[in-house]
């Protein structure tokens, strides 16, 4: 039940939800929100301590969760993580595929970008989405039969709004395409696939990068609301898309960006 005591989103209570990259930022906020809505949550994360932090936060509020440590870019680890979730809960209904990396320092313009950095971005951000969806959807089909998948996209997958982010932007463009084809492929099987596109969101790493007020101001100057989002302002959209309140939505993209892409 939501903290403010209003009506819960439909159809989430008792569902089993796996969230990748749930050790920090948006993924952590989504995991906490889904637990608050009555889901049993699996925290899929490659950093064990970060996963344990989210687990503690959920359990401290009376929620139910487990961790499954995996690098989403490595198929054997991803498969083992979903096997663990199904062995523990007996079912999977919801996948929020969210894990991703961004590095303003290491990413760059295409003519000087080391292939190793490109590969690193693709591994977490695109191959990781593919593998989480591959094994997550297989688990949903084999257990619950139908369900919902939510991917975390980015404005950089649509627009060139973040200069010198070749690897990151390209990976996110791929995520949007992956979501569209999956939405079409699984619509007849009762599995909905949608995307949340967060704008400038103050996850811990981003907060650190923009600690200097001048850097913060530069980042918000083109955002009509003139501020960054808190991670839990993104989590509501992901929880909605995972819920039965979004039962007629598939292949949809919800931007939560303070108006950035409306300009
Ligand atoms: N923060 C923003 O402004 C913003 C904007 C648009 C999109 N996004 C996207 O939102 C998602 C979450 O980002 P965030 O801002 O919360 O960042 P974050 O760094 O706070 O959280 C990302 C989490 O994913 C985990 N992770 C990264 N690679 C992984 C891998 N290979 N295997 C398993 N776990 C992995 C990290 O350890 C971390 O816990 C990402 O997909 C990011 O691209 C963020």
Decide whether any atom of ligand 1 lies within 6 Å of the 21 Cβ: yes
CATH number of 16-255: 3.40.50.720
What is the share, in percent, of the chain residues with pLDDT greater than 70? 98
Interstrand relation of 94-97 and 147-152 (parallel, antiparallel or unpaired) = parallel
Question: Which residue among 21, 50, 171, 229 is best mutated to probe the pocket of ligand 1, counting the most ligand atoms within 8 A of its Cβ?
Answer: 21
pLDDT band at 205 (very low <50, low <70, confident <90, very high): confident
The pTM assigned to this predicted structure is 0.98
pLDDT band at 4 (very low <50, low <70, confident <90, very high): low
Per residue in 83-106, pLDDT (tens digit) is 999 999 999 999 999 999 999 899
Judged by DSSP in three states, 46 sits in coil
Name the active-site residue from 89, 168, 186, 216. 168
Residue 3 pLDDT: 53
Q: What interhelical angle do 48-60 and 25-36 show, nearest 10?
A: 30
Per residue in 42-65, pLDDT (tens digit) is 999 999 999 999 999 999 999 999
Judged by DSSP in three states, 111 sits in helix
Nearest CA to ligand 1 atom 40: 100
Report, as an integer, the average pLDDT of 4-33: 94
- Domain residue ranges in the chain: 16-255
Tell me whether residue 248 is one of the annotated catalytic residues: no
């Amino acid at each position: 039940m939501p903290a403010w005591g209003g009506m819960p989103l439909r159809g989430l209570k008792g569902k089993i939800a796996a969230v990748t990259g749930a050790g920090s930022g948006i993924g952590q906020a989504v995991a906490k929100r889904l637990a608050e809505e009555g889901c049993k949550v699996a925290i899929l994360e490659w950093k064990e301590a970060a996963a344990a932090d989210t687990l503690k936060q959920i359990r401290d509020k009376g929620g139910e969760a487990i961790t499954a440590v995996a690098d989403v870019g490595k198929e054997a680890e991803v498969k083992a993580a979903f096997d663990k979730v199904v062995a523990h809960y007996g079912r999977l209904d919801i996948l929020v595929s969210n894990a991703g990396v961004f590095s303003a320092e290491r990413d760059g313009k295409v003519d000087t970008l080391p292939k190793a950095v490109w590969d690193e971005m693709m591994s977490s951000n695109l191959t990781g989405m593919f593998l989480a969806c591959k094994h997550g959807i297989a688990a949903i089909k084999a257990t619950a039969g139908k369900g919902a998948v939510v991917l975390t996209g980015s404005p950089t997958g649509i627009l060139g709004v973040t200069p010198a982010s070749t690897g990151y932007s390209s990976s996110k463009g791929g995520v949007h395409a992956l979501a569209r084809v999956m939405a079409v492929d699984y619509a007849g099987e009762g599995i909905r696939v949608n995307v949340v596109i967060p704008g400038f969101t103050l996850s811990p790493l981003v907060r650190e990068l923009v600690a200097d007020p001048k850097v913060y101001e530069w980042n918000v100057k083109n955002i009509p609301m003139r501020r960054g989002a808190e991670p839990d302002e993104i989590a509501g959209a992901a929880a909605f898309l995972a819920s039965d309140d979004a039962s007629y939505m598939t292949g949809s993209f919800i931007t939560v960006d303070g108006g950035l892409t409306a300009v």
